[in-house]
Amino acid sequence: MIKSFRSKSLEKFYLDGDERGIQPHHSEKLGRILDTMDSAHNIKDMNYPGSNLHKLEPKTKDIWSVDLSGNWRIVFKYKEGDFYQVELKDTH
């Protein structure tokens, strides 16, 4: 379950469908990823085809990433079945 967002625009998109602050062409896939994240029971549920789920360096901080599109990733902390500090990042 998603417990917190680092990005207010991403939180507004998830809660209200407000696309301000995100690229509109990302909205459909972004919504699916956030829905998957919110219903996930463990981190393995985020390892769906095309997600490229991986831990970021250093691997001791429990920060994970899944692909959205091109350089865009959804980055989050995962702890005990919940997702924290969810944010959208352009990695390049």
| Residue ranges covered by each domain of the chain | 8-90
Which helix (DSSP H) or strand (DSSP E) does residue 11 occupy?
helix 8-16
pLDDT tens track for 52-83: 999 988 876 789 999 999 999 999 999 989 99
Q: Which two tokens stand for residue 77?
A: 């902390």
From the options 3.30.2320.30, 3.30.70.360, 3.30.70.2200, 3.30.2310.20, give the CATH code of 8-90: 3.30.2310.20
Q: For the chain, how far is it from start to end, CA to CA, in angstroms? A: 28
Task: Note the pLDDT of residue 82.
Answer: 95
pTM of the model: 0.90
